[in-house]
A = this chain, B = another copy of it.
Amino acid sequence: MKSHRKELWFETTTRRAYLNITSQVEAELRASGIREGLVLVNAMHITASVFINDDESGLHGDFERWLEKLAPEKPYAQYAHNGYEDNADAHLKRQVMGREVVVAITEGRLDLGSWEQIFYGEFDGKRRKRVLVKIIGE
């Protein structure tokens, strides 16, 4: 069994953002030389998400409005977590969107459906944060 590990770093200019990281995960897969296995891609921060959905800006706007309805950022005082921080909403939004994805590797490629793209979902940005790519297989 072979394994490969890489941290990807991101710093968004806005509090919330969706970044397509599919090509960066593909680059790690090529670097690993692994042909059959699994890749785990997870946020290493608890106010961010890695998820798979559509690379369509209208949908990303829908995500923004929908998540703000389910877990609004403001007023900050509505959350007990916001004593010293203001990011409780980001912890909740990340639960809806998920921490991680696991993707199959087949014949040296990410085994994704036609429209599946891997995103980093940032809910408390404007600082450097990490995603872990871990690949195991042969």
Contacts and interface: CB of A to CB of B under 8 A. Distances in A.
Given A3-B37, A43-B113, A62-B91, 5 more contacts: A3-B138, A40-B103, A46-B115, A58-B79, A100-B102
Given A111-B134, A137-B3, A80 B104 contact: no
Contacts of A94: 53
Interface string A96-107: 111111111010
Count class of interface residues, chain A? 35 or more
A91 B137 contact: no
Contacts of A37: 1, 3, 136
Contacts of A112: 44
